[in-house]
Chain A
């Protein structure tokens, strides 16, 4: 029996008020287990970004419960949510969101700074994370000295450096060419095979194909949710 990573129960989220109200999520219930590689697809306006923000503890539901790693996080305040994000979640964004004029190493260290970890340990763990994504030789490069694919790998190193339970990737290949997209997705697959859960939002079928579970959103509801054979994977993820 696999461990539950997160549990969404009857989540509702509405933006705006009165006639302009948009019901972004309508009674969404969802469970993701530890070690899963999930792709969330859907047209724009389908609610997939809202879902991602809620899962990432960047936003709070209007109604329903959200349990992450055994904690009910639906009612926490901003500071407590920040701690939850720091401890359990690693973010990867479409536009990388690296700090400019700051070395790869320091970018990767950033989550550990907010976790209150000392300088020596930060440096060691950031170096290890950058080595894991194949950038051991680029520790002191600034983002503008790195290619798009390398920048996204720095961002992935930043996502994994705090040993989170789950990586949330929002259109991670949106700003990359097809070759680096493939490399980036293979990196996610490698991390997944090493045991990290990955949740990915995309509108590209090629990208979603790397996941083992595909959730499709439509009009604020889960339209379909099924397992698939992940593309290119030599073996399944190590389900704990």
Chain B
């Protein structure tokens, strides 16, 4: 008996009970569909984290001033005025693993342009920051070292601020915005980066030269860097070394004794991003295993129906045996029926899963990623489910005694 013949017999048997076959298959459809849709969501989340990771900038470390301490009450990290501009220059000069370093001075402020206003974050910095943070220009230009040296009143503005102040129609480059009563010329707009991993809008930002910031927005004691520093190393492998070298350098510069605590802190953002990537991996795994459970439940449904089918067709089995079917033929017939059922379920489930995943993405604005390897795996797994849960009913059928089977009422 050929393989094709066996499959045809199985298909015919299944088509004799179309409604029941469909309901049986539904479990597998839902199982495979769930696996595909859930993993698509998980993979999408992973891709999103990766995108955020690259938006943040790679090989990144943050240097914060230490916390201030007043009569025993300790302030937050960054509250002390322990970093100086000379510290920043020393890091640039003396730590070879550091590629770029840029100060970031921050203030929240109301910004006005024409008849609109908007509250946003003003960052005073140097041009290195645009490279460290992977910013790209949409229109106009970044500010330069020259702008920093001359403390020009120029601003590079994020997409959200542009949209709030100028709408979508007007060309903002060359326009004037007013921050704390000081007019600034918009010289460039930034390409949108979207939200950060913790939901902050990267694009709700205005960048101005750090010198201008200190003079016009928020002053600081002479020589004090009243903000934090973004540091980029040459490679990921350089991060731990840079951390150690910067720590040594700053302790030396700040004349800290061997027992004194650091009066600054270093945060390795790349490590943080990797931890988040691990997190999404776990999330994907969790979704996939929940979905896999439903696939197993689908398999149990198949086993249930196959057992009913074997009982119902006992006479048929007896007859087939009487006219020459070997036990192996009967075993194969029921096994193929189970596998055909689950494979059909797998293929329909694949379609349903893709449709549902796509719909979820549309509905909730989730990023969705379909992996072809996973789709093939899910369909293959459904066939495995068919074999695993079809085997027991098929074995039961093949072990029937033909005389009893023929006499079965």
> Which residues of A are interface residues toward B (Cβ below 8 A)?
53, 56, 58-59, 78-79, 82-83, 85-87, 90-91, 93, 97, 99-102, 110-111, 113-116, 158, 162
Q: Chain B residues near A58 (CB, 8 Å)?
A: 321-322, 402-403, 406
Q: Is B19 an interface residue (CB 8 A)?
A: no
Cβ distance A218 to chain B, nearest Cβ, rounded Å: 22
Cβ distance A12 to chain B, nearest Cβ, rounded Å: 17
User: In the complex, which of the residues B9, B12, B326, B403 contacts A82, with contact meaning CB atoms closer than 8 Å?
Assistant: B326
Q: Chain B residues near A162 (CB, 8 Å)?
A: 323-324
A101 near B16 (CB under 8 angstroms)?
yes
Q: Which 5 A-B pairs have the closest CB atoms?
A: A86-B324, A114-B324, A79-B326, A82-B326, A111-B323
B319 near A99 (CB under 8 angstroms)?
yes
B323 near A56 (CB under 8 angstroms)?
no
Chain B: residues with Cβ within 8 Å of the partner, total of: 22
- Find the residue from B12, B329, B406 having the highest chain A CB count within 10 A: B406
The digit string for B95-128, where 1 denotes a CB below 8 A from any CB of A, is: 0000000000000000000000000000000000
Q: Is B237 an interface residue (CB 8 A)?
A: no
Q: Of all chain B residues, which has the CB nearest A101?
A: B16
Q: Chain B residues near A82 (CB, 8 Å)?
A: 321, 324-327, 329
Q: Chain B residues near A86 (CB, 8 Å)?
A: 323-324
Q: Chain B residues near A85 (CB, 8 Å)?
A: 321-324
Q: How far is the CA of A82 from the CA of B318 in the complex (A)?
A: 11
Q: Known A100-B16, A101-B16, A113-B1; judge A158-B403 contact (CB<8 A).
A: no
Q: Chain B residues near A111 (CB, 8 Å)?
A: 323-324
Cβ distance B406 to chain A, nearest Cβ, rounded Å: 7
User: In the complex, which of the residues A78, A91, A93 contacts B326, with contact meaning CB atoms closer than 8 Å?
Assistant: A78
User: In the complex, which of the residues B315, B322, B327 contacts A78, with contact meaning CB atoms closer than 8 Å?
Assistant: B327
A–B Cβ pairs within 8 angstroms, 14 of them:
A58-B322, A58-B402, A58-B403, A79-B327, A79-B328, A87-B324, A90-B323, A91-B322, A93-B406, A97-B319, A97-B406, A111-B324, A113-B5, A115-B324
Chain B 1-19 interface residues, beta-carbon cutoff 8 Å to A: 1, 5, 9, 12, 16
Q: Is B320 an interface residue (CB 8 A)?
A: yes
Q: Is B238 an interface residue (CB 8 A)?
A: no
Q: Chain A residues near B326 (CB, 8 Å)?
A: 78-79, 82-83, 114
Q: How far is the CA of A114 from the CA of B319 in the complex (A)?
A: 12
Q: Chain A residues near B5 (CB, 8 Å)?
A: 113
Cβ distance A76 to chain B, nearest Cβ, rounded Å: 12
> Which residues of B are interface residues toward A (Cβ below 8 A)?
1, 5, 9, 12, 16, 315-316, 318-329, 402-403, 406
Chain B interface mostly: helix
Q: Chain B residues near A114 (CB, 8 Å)?
A: 1, 320, 323-326, 329
Q: How far is the CA of A158 from the CA of B319 in the complex (A)?
A: 11
Q: Known A79-B327, A79-B328, A101-B16; judge A110-B320 contact (CB<8 A).
A: yes
Cβ distance A53 to chain B, nearest Cβ, rounded Å: 5
Q: How far is the CA of A152 from the CA of B9 in the complex (A)?
A: 23
Q: Known A93-B406, A114-B1; judge A56-B322 contact (CB<8 A).
A: yes
Q: Of all chain A residues, which has the CB nearest B4?
A: A119
Cβ distance A70 to chain B, nearest Cβ, rounded Å: 19
Cβ distance B250 to chain A, nearest Cβ, rounded Å: 84
- Find the residue from A56, A59, A114 having the highest chain B CB count within 10 A: A114
Q: How far is the CA of A83 from the CA of B1 in the complex (A)?
A: 13
A91 near B323 (CB under 8 angstroms)?
yes
Cβ distance B4 to chain A, nearest Cβ, rounded Å: 10
- Find the residue from A56, A82, A102 having the highest chain B CB count within 10 A: A82
Q: Of all chain A residues, which has the CB nearest B330?
A: A82
Q: Chain B residues near A87 (CB, 8 Å)?
A: 324
A110 near B1 (CB under 8 angstroms)?
no
Q: How far is the CA of A91 from the CA of B403 in the complex (A)?
A: 12
Q: Chain B residues near A59 (CB, 8 Å)?
A: 403
Q: Chain A residues near B329 (CB, 8 Å)?
A: 82, 114
User: In the complex, which of the residues B16, B323, B403 contacts A110, with contact meaning CB atoms closer than 8 Å?
Assistant: B323
B406 near A116 (CB under 8 angstroms)?
no
User: In the complex, which of the residues B12, B324, B406 contacts A83, with contact meaning CB atoms closer than 8 Å?
Assistant: B324
Q: Of all chain B residues, which has the CB nearest A80?
A: B326
* 20 other A-B residue contacts (CB within 8 Å) besides A82-B324, A97-B322, A116-B1: A58-B322, A58-B406, A78-B327, A79-B326, A79-B328, A82-B321, A82-B325, A83-B324, A83-B326, A85-B322, A85-B324, A86-B323, A86-B324, A87-B324, A93-B406, A97-B315, A102-B12, A114-B1, A114-B324, A114-B325
Cβ distance A144 to chain B, nearest Cβ, rounded Å: 12
Q: Chain B residues near A101 (CB, 8 Å)?
A: 16
Q: Chain A residues near B327 (CB, 8 Å)?
A: 78-79, 82
Cβ distance B265 to chain A, nearest Cβ, rounded Å: 78
Cβ distance B404 to chain A, nearest Cβ, rounded Å: 10
Cβ distance A79 to chain B, nearest Cβ, rounded Å: 4
Q: How far is the CA of A58 from the CA of B317 in the complex (A)?
A: 13
Q: Chain A residues near B316 (CB, 8 Å)?
A: 99
Cβ distance A225 to chain B, nearest Cβ, rounded Å: 24
